[in-house]
Structure 1
């Protein structure tokens, strides 16, 4: 049987809609033991669909909720990594872990997060012709902090660009990642990708947290 795990959170685009009723619904859904992470949350200073002060306020509150629930944080950060890192330092990095979703920047941007024990997930952008900085960042990472992802329906990897991205397209990103990490095709590549898969299980396929056990399953 396939195992489905869920992330639930208020995306920075929707921070303007965050209120007491939304938080109550968020907490209700986080109590579902299938929920593996609080996310995507963070800051998006590219689109600014929500005012930046509101994004910051909602981001801080959801970090607090991650601490309360014992869940990892999955972060959406765009043109805001430095400010988000400062906020995380002030609020504290959750013991359950922090995942940088769809990382597509350089090593200097990534390293402070890694020094705090964070994970980074690489999507289709890792395969793009102009993504040498991102590939260099992946190459320099500890293997036990790397994940892959699709960001479906966006970020379709080479050689499938132009199509709508789907979960099965992760095979192209994974193959490119193994190449970036210097793995020879065959057993070495397979072993490396199994380790990346184990990273995902370790971060996102845990037993329910004490908070989830206390608050029970989400109402059907």
Structure 2
């Protein structure tokens, strides 16, 4: 029973064959998938998918790449959608200094407003950070500590970064990069995350794990991530599968607990 904690099934790349993608995920043992929004429109699509597909749950939010001139109605819609029974988090939100699609102060403001929404709604947050780890951790310290838990999605930071995040109540999620030949640092960190803070994801359609790197990713391939995590941690695949599945439910508490074969 696999839990893909982050998969963009609402992306246009799945428009033509979504049902086949979902079928392959089921065949691979994927029982739960969290689909995040990156703006108001994709958040609505995530909720629609969650209504249509039993295994799918939604997160809703405004990504830092969409943080330029966000109208007030979009924040209002994120909060309205958050009340849906299958919306389990606010996200993906955070800071991206690689693309710098919006001024950095504006990115921080947009993220902080959504962290406040999460606090009001009693939901965790899904955090995106790229070339902005120090500012992201500072933002979590000021806006989330003691109020909001969450997950550091597709983590590629240092062990010290991970420890800081875990101390703030944030899970550490690994995706395709943990399988890349040129990412030994990611594997070294993944090997040292305590079982109770570990999650797995695909970030589909992006970051497909080896040996499919460069091809469209999909939830079925979360098994490859779990297998690599087991290898670098010196654990059985079953142990990592169990830990990440249980942790997914611990974090996303509105996700219904599944049974084998459901």
TM-score band w.r.t. shorter chain: 0.7 to 0.9
Alignment pair present for 1:64 and 2:116: yes
The equivalent of 1:123 in structure 2 is 175
Aligned partners of 1:136 and 1:207: how far apart in 2? 30
Out of 177, 190, 200, the position equivalent to 2:238 is 190
1:53-202 matches, cutoff 5 A? 53-93=105-145, 95=147, 97-183=149-235, 188-202=236-250
Q: 1:62 to 1:154 in 2, by over 3 A?
A: same
User: Is the partner of 2:217 in helix, strand or coil?
Assistant: coil
Aligned partners of 1:207 and 1:200: how far apart in 2? 8
Contact 1:72–1:94 (Cα < 8 Å) also in 2: no
Q: 1:119 to 1:177 in 2, by over 3 A?
A: same
The equivalent of 1:212 in structure 2 is none
Q: CA deviation at 1:88?
A: 1.7
Aligned partners of 2:72 and 2:214: how far apart in 1? 41
Aligned partners of 1:69 and 1:94: how far apart in 2? 15
Alignment pair present for 1:44 and 2:84: no
Q: CA deviation at 1:95?
A: 4.2
TM-score, normalization by structure 2 = 0.74
Q: Give CA deviations for 1:44-89 in whole Å, capped at 9, x if unaligned.
A: 0000111111101111111111111100010001111111111221
Aligned partners of 1:56 and 1:105: how far apart in 2? 19
Number of positions where the alignment pairs a residue of Structure 1 with one of Structure 2 = 204
Q: CA deviation at 1:162?
A: 2.5
Contact 1:66–1:94 (Cα < 8 Å) also in 2: no
The equivalent of 2:63 in structure 1 is 11
Contact 2:140–2:168 (Cα < 8 Å) also in 1: no
Q: 1:58 to 1:96 in 2, by over 3 A?
A: closer
Query: Unpaired runs of 5+ in structure 2?
Result: 1-52, 257-262
Contact 1:74–1:100 (Cα < 8 Å) also in 2: yes
The equivalent of 2:9 in structure 1 is none
Aligned partners of 2:159 and 2:181: how far apart in 1? 17
